[in-house]
Amino acid sequence: MHKIPMASEKRITLEGLSEEQAAALLRSDGPNELPRPGQRTALRIFLEVMREPMLALLLGSGAVYLLLGELQDALILLAFAMMSIVITVVQEARTERVLEALRDLTSPRATVTRDGERRRIPGREVVCGDLLLLAEGDRVPADAIMREGHDLQIDESLLTGESVPVHKVPATEGIHQAMGKPGGDGQPFVFSGTLVVRGQAQCRVLATGIRSEIGKIGHSLSKLETEPPRLQAQTRRLVKIFALAGGLVSLGAVLLYVTLRGGWLDGLLAGIALGMSMLPEEFPVVLVVFMAMGAWRISKVRVLTRRASAIETLGSATVLCTDKTGTLTENRMAIAELRLAGFKSRWRQNEAVALPKAFAELAETGLLASATQPTDPMDKAFHDLWRQRGPQAAQWPTDELNLLRAYGLRPELLAVTQVWQGGRGAKIIAAKGAPEAIAALCKCDGKTKAAITAAVNEMAASGLRVLGVARASHAGKSLPETQRAFAFTFLGLVGLADPLRASVPAAVAQCRSAGIRVVMITGDYPATASAIAAQAGLNASHVAAGAELESLDDQALAELAGKAAVFARVMPDQKLRIVNVLKVNGEIVAMTGDGVNDAPSLKAAHIGIAMGGRGTDVAREASSIVLLDDDFGSIVQAIRQGRRIYDNLRKAMSFIFAVHVPIAGLALLPLVMGLPILLGPIHIAILEMVIDPVCSLVFEAEPEESDVMSRPPRPPAEPLFSRHMIFWSLLQGAVALAFVAGIYLLALSQGLPVEDVRALAFFSLIMAVLALIFVNRTFSASLATALGRNNTALVGVLAALFAFMASTLLWPFARNLLHFGPLHGDDLAISVATGAVVLASLQLAKLPLAKWLKS
């Protein structure tokens, strides 16, 4: 809260500021816009990639090859390093570009008075003290106080969450009161980012940029830390552990090589090869690939992923906190119920296909009391009713009528009256407004007023905004000065509501079947929140109000948040409190919203989900995921994708663990036994930079498991690398190593040339790798399932691998580059048999372990 500065009063004239004053204020206060957060440039992303350990090993081995004079080997390793850099930089930079394209790069235009003249300027150039001119359809560019105006109504839903516009009144001359807060009728303050839906006004600017209400919320976001992705933290920790262990083993290997064989450079290459074989650098690569592909897949259902790692986290969400206005509802007003005078006859939207004739006059009068080109949500609702359900929707009542005069809202009479003249006969007078105001216009007696009040209370309890409608005729040529002079007849009541999105009930039901609790947190009134919650399928038996939360400490609030499904009249700081206590309770929290009031809780949640169509820049900037079509049902698709990604990620990680065992074993075995070196850095680089990432694409493309949306979320503390998975992976790798190492040792014992042995062992290893792919494709024990699942990426991988194998067999240059000897038909048969035996052995081993592996 702050006082309106006295200095501002003195420098304002009826003509507003001068251009010189405005320029000086713009220089001193800065532009009227929110500061943009630092964007991740391509250079910044490149520097982040350069810190990866595997990249250092690739560059180091390339440097050693240069020292040895092996230019071709050095260039190939450097090419692999560049591939890793390019893939990561391109993907991350693309995400930044998409986000930037989503943002509105231009601020709203503003009409101000400068040097006594009306001027249209960019919103960023508005300064404190400017005289703003607001009209229907304008976006308010800054916080201001209303000095003069007529029938000004503002949609403040982006700040308050309330879908009903609020009525503004001019401030008392010379007012020096505390700056008000958004929400509530009868206030003189207008706020940046809100929308004028009716009327016009002159307003004096009090705050711009980060000093405005929207700016304060946006600025506070910088103090909130985004929840770090759990999988990324786990994989980085694991890679560091392996890097440390690999470094120590590599150092020992270098010393062993030099002691037994001499030659520091060759020993260094052997040590680097062993370090590369032990470092599972594919983990972060797989995460990037999976999240990038996941972002691409859900983009096809109009969901933009701002932080790709949030997709996987969304799949583990246990609580989905959702705003009401614009998220569960359509953020528009629609007529839900009509009641005729006497209140014995009523009609609801879902009860009939066509509006009964008895209600035609009520609907027509409400339309005649609305603007012909509506911007007010309630006026639009009357137009929609006539268009969709009117008895003669093709013929509008206004087609043969002329509007003579409109009587606007007044603080003392909250009703709108419009006078229409047809070709012949008396003038038609249509009025709508607050039920008590319409009752006063109709001069209703006490009994009728009591009946109206009872009906209004009943409708309001269902979450409806209630208007009264009245009609009169006038035969005189002149019109009275006030609408009170007409002889109105009370026609009935109209109940309006912000309708529930059609996809919401099914989406809530799917969340429930997936074990995800849905919690509504809204700034709207409890009755409205309860009605919408009931329609959505939420438990609305108890609605916790914001006033109730004020008296609760964190422990009591945590208990309430653990069971309540609806929170109403909640302020932004209370939303943030609810999200934080849910996190303390151990929940994985996803939060949806579209307004500025949602931004702090969006950023604090594990996954912030913003609405892209109606949402603000501040909300989108604070979120991890943006629903471009504002469809709540798209969240379910994102959750499904998140769970599928996690399942497939476990399969990919299991494969990576398994495949590193034979690679590391074949790199270490010759050093320990004093045998010819089998794998050099170039061979391991091929395996890790070609086979493993490509195979990761195979696992990413795997279809979802049949129970993906019928099982509860995994426990938040469950590690990706469970003991079960590690044991199973080591078992797979040990089986593959045993068979390939056996072939290597047997071939050497037969006196085959080293180049021939290397080729045979390498091809056998590739076939064993293919076997590991099929073993890990599904948690099921069925080999038929693993072979029969449709996966076009697998077909491409097989084609690429067989093309690579063929090139090394038939192209002498490639064979010499890899130091391979020629292979014959019987050698290839041995390689294929190795893969088949590994596959069969592991499938048999999986039979008793299938259920255990899913846990």
Structure-derived torsion over alpha carbons of residues 817, 821, 824, 830, reported in degrees to the nearest 10: -90
* 266 pLDDT higher than 70: no
* Cβ pair 728, 849 in contact under 8 A: yes
Q: Please state, in angstroms and rounded to a whole number, the distance separating the CA atoms of residues 624 and 294.
A: 14
Interval 616-667: pLDDT, tens: 666 666 678 888 777 777 888 888 888 888 888 888 888 888 888 888 788 7
Q: Please state, in angstroms and rounded to a whole number, the distance separating the CA atoms of residues 540 and 183.
A: 24
Q: Which amino acid is at 65?
A: Y
Q: Residue 165 — φ and ψ, nearest 5°?
A: -60, 155
pLDDT at 396: 75
* 61 pLDDT higher than 50: yes
Q: Please state, in angstroms and rounded to a whole number, the distance separating the CA atoms of residues 582 and 605.
A: 9
pLDDT at 615: 60
Interval 399-453: pLDDT, tens: 778 899 999 888 788 899 999 987 677 799 999 999 999 999 999 999 999 999 9
pLDDT bin (cut points 50, 70, 90) of residue 7 is very low
pLDDT bin (cut points 50, 70, 90) of residue 690 is low
Q: Please state, in angstroms and rounded to a whole number, the distance separating the CA atoms of residues 773 and 787.
A: 10
H/E segment holding residue 753: none
Identify the top-confidence range among 336-340, 713-717, 796-800, 814-818: 336-340
Q: Please state, in angstroms and rounded to a whole number, the distance separating the CA atoms of residues 511 and 602.
A: 19
* 102 pLDDT higher than 50: no
Q: Residue 799 — φ and ψ, nearest 5°?
A: -65, -45
Parallel, antiparallel or unpaired: strands 402-407 and 346-348: unpaired
Would you call 167 helix, strand, or coil by DSSP? strand
Question: How many whole angstroms from its chain centre is CA 327?
Answer: 12
Q: Please state, in angstroms and rounded to a whole number, the distance separating the CA atoms of residues 736 and 836.
A: 11
pLDDT bin (cut points 50, 70, 90) of residue 711 is confident
Question: How many whole angstroms from its chain centre is CA 545?
Answer: 27
Least confident of 3-7, 80-84, 528-532, 613-617: 3-7
* Cβ pair 428, 420 in contact under 8 A: yes
Q: Please state, in angstroms and rounded to a whole number, the distance separating the CA atoms of residues 373 and 436.
A: 27
Indicate the burial class of 17 (C-beta count within 10 angstroms; 0-12, 13-18, 19 or more). Answer: buried
- Between helices 282-299 and 692-700, what is the axis angle to 10°? 40
Q: Please state, in angstroms and rounded to a whole number, the distance separating the CA atoms of residues 298 and 448.
A: 56
pLDDT at 436: 94
The neighbour count for residue 46, using CB atoms within 10 Å, is: 15
Q: Please state, in angstroms and rounded to a whole number, the distance separating the CA atoms of residues 406 and 501.
A: 34
* 8 pLDDT higher than 50: no
- SS3 of 760-808: the string is HHHHHHHHHHHHHHHHCCCCCCCHHHHHHCCCHHHHHHHHHHHHHHHHH
Q: 571 forms bridges with which residues in the sheet?
A: none
Q: Please state, in angstroms and rounded to a whole number, the distance separating the CA atoms of residues 546 and 160.
A: 13
Over residues 180-186, the mean pLDDT reads 79
Q: Please state, in angstroms and rounded to a whole number, the distance separating the CA atoms of residues 699 and 76.
A: 27
Residues with Cβ within 8 Å of 720's Cβ and at least 6 positions away in sequence, in order, are 231, 234, 235, 649, 650, 653
pLDDT at 104: 40
Least confident of 97-111, 143-157, 441-455, 776-790: 97-111
- pTM reported for the whole predicted model: 0.67
Q: Please state, in angstroms and rounded to a whole number, the distance separating the CA atoms of residues 130 and 127.
A: 6
Residues with Cβ within 8 Å of 446's Cβ and at least 6 positions away in sequence, in order, are none
Residues with Cβ within 8 Å of 389's Cβ and at least 6 positions away in sequence, in order, are 349, 352, 353, 354, 355, 363
DSSP string covering 232-255:
HHHHHHHHHHHHHHHHHHHHHHHH
DSSP string covering 305-374:
ESSTHHHHHHHT-SEEEE-IIIIIB-SS-EEEEEEETTSS-EEEGGG-SS--GGGHHHHHHHHHTS-SS-
692-717: b (≥16 Cβ within 10 Å) or e: bbbbbbbbbbbeebeebbeeebbeee
pLDDT at 9: 36
Structure-derived torsion over alpha carbons of residues 570, 573, 579, 580, reported in degrees to the nearest 10: -140
Does residue 727 or residue 162 have the better pLDDT?
727
* Euclidean distance between the first and the last CA atom of the chain, given in angstroms as a whole number: 54
Would you call 416 helix, strand, or coil by DSSP? strand
Tokens read off for 841: 């052995």
Would you call 544 helix, strand, or coil by DSSP? strand
pLDDT at 394: 54
Q: Which amino acid is at 314?
A: L
Does residue 431 or residue 777 have the better pLDDT?
431
Instruction: Give the whole-number percent of the chain exceeding pLDDT 70.
Output: 73
Over residues 567-576, the mean pLDDT reads 85
pLDDT bin (cut points 50, 70, 90) of residue 505 is very high
Does residue 542 or residue 143 have the better pLDDT?
143
Q: Please state, in angstroms and rounded to a whole number, the distance separating the CA atoms of residues 18 and 12.
A: 9
* 37 pLDDT higher than 60: no
Q: Please state, in angstroms and rounded to a whole number, the distance separating the CA atoms of residues 554 and 233.
A: 28
Q: Please state, in angstroms and rounded to a whole number, the distance separating the CA atoms of residues 566 and 576.
A: 15
Interval 290-331: pLDDT, tens: 777 777 777 777 787 777 667 777 778 899 998 887 778 887
Interval 116-135: pLDDT, tens: 888 888 888 999 989 999 98
* Cβ pair 540, 568 in contact under 8 A: no
* 729 pLDDT higher than 80: yes
Its sign, for the CA torsion 476, 480, 485, 489, is positive
Q: Please state, in angstroms and rounded to a whole number, the distance separating the CA atoms of residues 65 and 76.
A: 10
Computed over every residue of the chain, the mean pLDDT equals 79
Q: Which of 583, 714, 737, 712 is nearest to 649 (CA)?
A: 714
Q: Which of 373, 495, 470, 374 is nearest to 413 (CA)?
A: 470
- Edge to edge, the sheet with strand 489-497 lists 346-348, 334-340, 489-497, 465-474, 427-433, 415-421, 402-407
Q: Residue 320 — φ and ψ, nearest 5°?
A: -115, 105
Residues with Cβ within 8 Å of 91's Cβ and at least 6 positions away in sequence, in order, are 288, 292
* 515 pLDDT higher than 70: yes
Q: Please state, in angstroms and rounded to a whole number, the distance separating the CA atoms of residues 86 and 758.
A: 31
Q: Which of 764, 785, 784 is nearest to 834 (CA)?
A: 764
